[in-house]
């Protein structure tokens, strides 16, 4: 939320505060017993959402022989020259040679160093589905498939066959929140505005800007003589006969206090020597690094972060625009990993990418259109890196993985991807269905990419 008007801020402020700290004892006791992790450790998950639908066909590419020939023939004017691809050597071979987009030198180095892994052909699924079932219409499919807004929600909720009010990150936070004893701010913090991923039934996300805590415009607690500040203080100190007015007043107070606590904590945190790129995503991840450095001040043993970058809806001239987007992505993620290593929490912080969908293998003349399954990467010291997980699709239009125009039918579900991360985060096997109600439909609730 950047430079909010006062009325808009108050509306969001109440939403950020309601629910946090209003938990029944029964709920807390149940969830405390459900958490698999030990109370003394620290872990953080960072969801990096690529809004618009990243064309991952040009992120992870077969770079030699018949596989490259099939790629180049299918992609046409969108094909990257084989000589420009950055080679990687996955630990487990499927017979192909792979390369990354030439803009992703940082991710290449992380992969080769065992700190990053790729998950192939993952997407929203209502249940496993084959090409034959797709053509025959005999298996359920996600609601409003290929729609930006619907697929964004399905990635963030991990529920593809019905509307959902909470995200899988929020439901996970509800379960593990008992680890954050005496926490001063929410364990779920977004530096990229509102999102569904972090919305829980109990824990609600707290919004900050890439520059720090978001306060109330015109409110200057450091200057108690300011007329507007004095007026706001009088309003906040007033007692009301209506319990809802008191609850709203208390919610606004908590948000103001949280903003001050966030700002004070990040200001006091030790300065990092890691240099972040001066980009929007670089600034967001730099703020997340600063918030991680303040974890003990917040009494956080678990943190869930959300950041994002837009521009991935590349219907138009794609080759140039995607090169810049992937450069921003790779540079920012690399700097963030280096910052976690500088803080000695690289084994405790995991960053993962998500996006609406991938894009068509077939060019529309200048770019690519909405598709389905795509490739994503996971970065962190706890990642079993240097390898590919899932199954890379056969890069042939009307081949065994194609639903049409190179819209790959996912062979791995978002549910499986997310459940693997949740298990590492400390969610017990018995609680996975609470977070992922459809996980029982899929064969691999743990894909093995986390140690």
What secondary structure does DSSP assign to 62-87, as a single string? Answer: E-SHHHHHHHHHHHGGGPPPGGGSEE
The angle subtended at Cα 124 by Cα 122 and Cα 125, nearest 5°, is: 105
Whole-Å CA distances, 272 to 290, 292, 313: 8, 12, 34
Give the number of other Cβ atoms within 10 Å of residue 2's Cβ: 9
Instruction: Kindly give the interhelix angle for 280-293 and 243-268, rounded to the nearest 10 degrees.
Output: 90
pLDDT of residue 156: 98
pLDDT value of residue 178: 93
Residue 206 tokens, joined: 């707290």
Please count the residues of the chain: 451
Q: What is the pLDDT of residue 40?
A: 54
Handedness of CA 192, 198, 202, 203 (dihedral sign): negative
Burial state string for 420-439 with b = 16 or more CB within 10 A and e = fewer than 16: bbbbbbbbbeebbebbbbbb
User: Tell me, what DSSP letter sits at residue 241?
Assistant: S
pLDDT at 262: 86
Q: Tell the burial category of 186 from Cβ atoms under 10 Å away from its Cβ (0-12, 13-18, 19+).
A: buried
DSSP state of 303: E
- The pair of structure tokens assigned to 202 is 């109990």
β-bridge partners, 118: 377, 388
Q: Are 178 and 35 in contact (CB under 8 A)?
A: yes
CA distances to 84, 135, 334, 374, 376 from 320, in Å: 14, 35, 21, 20, 21
288-293 long-range contacts (CB < 8 A, ≥24 apart) are 288/46, 288/189, 288/191, 288/336, 289/336, 289/339, 289/340, 289/343, 290/266, 291/189, 291/208, 291/262, 291/265, 291/266, 292/44, 292/340, 292/343, 292/345, 292/349, 293/266, 293/269, 293/343
Q: What is the pLDDT of residues 395-444, one digit of tens each?
A: 999 999 999 999 999 999 999 999 999 999 999 999 999 999 999 999 99
H or E, element range at 59: none
* Residue whose pair of structure tokens reads 């007692």 in the numeric block: 239
The set of residues, in sequence order, having a beta carbon less than 8 Å from that of 384 and lying 6+ positions away, is: 117, 448, 449, 450, 451
Classified as helix, coil or strand, 390 is strand
- What tens-digit pLDDT sequence spans the chain (451 residues)? 333 333 343 334 433 333 333 233 223 433 433 344 444 599 999 999 999 999 999 999 999 999 999 999 999 999 999 999 999 999 999 999 999 999 999 999 999 999 999 999 999 999 999 999 999 999 999 999 999 999 999 999 999 999 999 999 999 999 999 999 888 889 999 999 999 999 999 998 999 999 887 767 778 877 888 998 888 888 899 999 999 999 999 888 877 887 888 888 888 888 899 999 999 999 999 999 999 999 998 999 999 999 999 999 999 999 999 999 999 999 999 999 999 999 999 999 999 999 999 999 999 999 999 999 999 999 999 999 999 999 999 999 999 999 999 999 999 999 999 999 999 999 999 999 999 999 999 999 999 999 9
Nearest of 118, 122, 91 to residue 444 by alpha carbon: 122
448: left (phi over 0), alpha (psi -120 to 50) or beta: left
Q: If you search the block for the tokens 């997310």, which residue do you land on?
A: 418
Rg of the chain over Cα atoms, rounded to whole angstroms, equals: 23
SS3 content of the chain, % helix, strand, coil (to 5): 40, 15, 45
Residues 6 or more apart whose CB falls under 8 angstroms from that of 231 comprise none
- Find out whether 3 and 215 touch, Cβ atoms under 8 Å: no
Model pLDDT, residue 28: 40
pLDDT at 268: 85
DSSP three-state, residue 263: helix
Q: Which of 119, 48, 49 is nearest to 335 (CA)?
A: 48
Model-level pTM?
0.89
Residue with tokens 């030790």: 270
pLDDT at 24: 31
| Dist CA 71 CA 169 (whole Å) | 35
Q: d(Cα 252, Cα 338) in Å, to the nearest integer?
A: 36
Phi, psi of 90 (to 5 degrees): -60, 145
- Separation of first and last alpha carbons in the chain: 35
């Amino acid at each position: 939320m950047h430079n909010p008007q006062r009325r808009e801020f108050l509306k969001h402020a109440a939403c950020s505060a309601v629910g946090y700290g209003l938990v029944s004892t029964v709920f807390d006791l149940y969830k405390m017993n459900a958490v698999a992790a030990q109370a003394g450790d620290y872990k953080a998950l960072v969801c990096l959402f690529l809004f618009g639908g990243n064309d991952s066909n040009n992120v992870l590419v077969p770079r030699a022989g018949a596989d490259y020939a099939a790629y180049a023939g299918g992609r046409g004017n969108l094909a990257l020259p084989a000589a420009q691809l950055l080679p990687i050597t996955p630990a487990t071979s499927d017979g192909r040679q792979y390369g990354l987009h030439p803009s992703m030198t940082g991710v290449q180095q992380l992969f080769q160093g065992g700190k990053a892994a790729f998950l192939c052909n993952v997407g929203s699924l209502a249940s496993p589905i084959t090409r034959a079932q797709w053509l025959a219409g005999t298996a359920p499919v996600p609601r409003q498939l290929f729609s930006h807004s619907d697929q964004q929600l399905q990635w963030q909720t991990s529920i593809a066959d019905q509307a959902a009010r909470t995200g899988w990150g929020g439901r996970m936070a509800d379960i593990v929140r008992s680890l954050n004893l005496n926490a001063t701010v929410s364990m779920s913090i977004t530096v990229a505005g509102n999102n569904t991923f972090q919305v829980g039934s109990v824990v609600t996300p707290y919004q900050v800007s890439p520059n720090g805590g978001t306060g109330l415009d015109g409110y200057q607690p450091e200057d108690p003589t300011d007329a507007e500040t004095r007026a706001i203080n009088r309003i906040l100190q007033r007692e009301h006969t209506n319990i809802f007015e008191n609850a709203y007043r208390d919610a606004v107070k908590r948000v103001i206090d949280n903003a001050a606590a966030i700002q004070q904590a990040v200001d006091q945190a030790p300065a990092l020597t890691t240099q972040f790129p001066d980009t929007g995503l670089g600034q967001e991840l730099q703020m997340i690094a600063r918030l991680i450095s303040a974890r003990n001040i917040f009494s956080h043993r678990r943190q869930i972060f959300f950041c994002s970058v837009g521009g991935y809806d590349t219907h138009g001239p794609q080759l140039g625009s995607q090169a810049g987007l992937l450069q921003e992505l790779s540079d920012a993620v690399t700097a963030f990993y280096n910052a976690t290593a500088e803080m000695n929490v690289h084994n405790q912080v995991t960053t993962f990418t998500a996006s609406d969908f991938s894009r068509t293998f077939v060019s529309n003349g200048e770019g690519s259109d909405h598709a389905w399954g795509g490739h994503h990467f996971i970065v962190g010291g706890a990642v079993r890196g240097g390898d590919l997980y899932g199954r890379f699709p056969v890069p042939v239009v009307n081949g065994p993985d194609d639903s049409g125009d190179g819209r790959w039918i996912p062979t791995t579900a978002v549910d499986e991807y997310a459940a693997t991360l949740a298990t590492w985060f400390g969610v017990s096997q018995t609680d996975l269905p609470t977070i992922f109600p459809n996980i029982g439909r899929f064969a691999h609730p743990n894909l093995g990419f986390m140690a």
